[in-house]
Amino acid sequence: MMPPVGSGRRRRSRAALGLAAVGLAAVGLVLAIDATIWDRPVPRLLFGVLDESGHVATAALLLSAWATTSTRGLSRTFVVTALSSAILIDLDHIPNELFGTTILMRDTYRPYGHTMLTVAVAAACALVLRGARGNRMARAVAVGVLLHLLRDMATGGVPLLWPLERWTVAYPYPIYVALLTAAAMTLAAGGPRAVNPAMPKVGIGRVTRGTISHVR
Ligand SMILES: [Zn+2]
């Protein structure tokens, strides 16, 4: 039986509103976290949990927007690896946080892992592992670290060019918020096509045969 005329459009509108709400909720979460942890003293453990939550929200939102616009989609392995990398890069804070040593951050605001060198090493691994499964994972690590740096550069900065330079590279926080908002809007704009009944039943964020589906 044919669906009623206009039902597909209504479904797409609802999907767009839903995705816009999810995207904007992620932006709101990041704003709330940053208003909490940067403007007042916060216990370090709570700070860490909230800041990592901000990193997850940032990376997930940008990866979702990317998946929406990508013609090939993003594999589950790629997404999981990128999200993990966007968190695990902060392990280089441990020597300073737990042992009080600045061995990994002498004269820099954040540790040496927070640099383009880390991204370059991951990218080099991807080149070496060309054609192998490890290639995809290495590319995901590079993307995950980049997404992490994107947030850190808006919240104090990173020694992006270390070891060449020890400068702290940063950019204005409102630009970060605008970027996240644009990603939320991209998600909403691309999402409705995912529920177009004329297309295969795949949707954004839904894992199908190991692949986070994409929308053309
Ligand atoms: Zn960091």
pLDDT tens-digit profile of 20-33?
Answer: 888 899 999 999 99
CA of 187 to the centre of ligand 1 (A): 25
CA of 11 to the centre of ligand 1 (A): 39
* Domain presence at residue 130: yes
* Domain presence at residue 146: yes
pLDDT for 191: 61
pLDDT reading at 130 higher than 80: no
CA of 7 to the centre of ligand 1 (A): 46
pLDDT for 210: 34
CA of 67 to the centre of ligand 1 (A): 24
CA of 89 to the centre of ligand 1 (A): 7
pLDDT for 8: 66
CA of 90 to the centre of ligand 1 (A): 5
* Domain presence at residue 203: no
What are the DSSP calls for the chain, one per residue?
Answer: -PPPTTHHHHHHHHHHHHHHHHHHHHHHHHHHHHHHHSSS---HHHHHHHHHHHHHHHHHHHHHHHHHH-SS-EEHHHHHHHHHHHHHGGGGGHHHHHH---TT-TTSSS-TTSSHHHHHHHHHHHHHTTTSHHHHHHHHHHHHHHHHHHHHHHTT-B-TTTTT--PPB---HHHHHHHHHHHHHHHHHHGGGGG-TTS-S--TT-EETTEE----
pLDDT for 129: 87
CA of 152 to the centre of ligand 1 (A): 6
pLDDT reading at 44 higher than 70: yes
CA of 59 to the centre of ligand 1 (A): 13
CA of 81 to the centre of ligand 1 (A): 17
pLDDT reading at 141 higher than 50: yes
pLDDT reading at 209 higher than 80: no
pLDDT for 7: 63
CA of 159 to the centre of ligand 1 (A): 11
* Domain presence at residue 105: yes
pLDDT for 5: 52
The pLDDT mean for the chain works out to: 84
CA of 24 to the centre of ligand 1 (A): 23
Mean pLDDT, to the nearest integer, of 169-197? 82
pLDDT for 187: 87
47-102 pLDDT per residue, tens: 999 999 999 999 999 999 999 888 778 888 999 999 999 999 999 999 998 888 98
CA of 95 to the centre of ligand 1 (A): 14
Q: What total number of domains does the chain contain? A: 1
pLDDT reading at 39 higher than 80: yes
* Domain presence at residue 199: no
* Residue 111 domain boundaries: 9-191
* Domain presence at residue 204: no
CA of 208 to the centre of ligand 1 (A): 32
**Total-model pTM:** 0.82
* Domain presence at residue 120: yes
pLDDT reading at 208 higher than 60: no
- Percent of the residues in the chain that have a pLDDT greater than 70, as a whole number: 83
- Percent of the residues in the chain that have a pLDDT greater than 90, as a whole number: 57
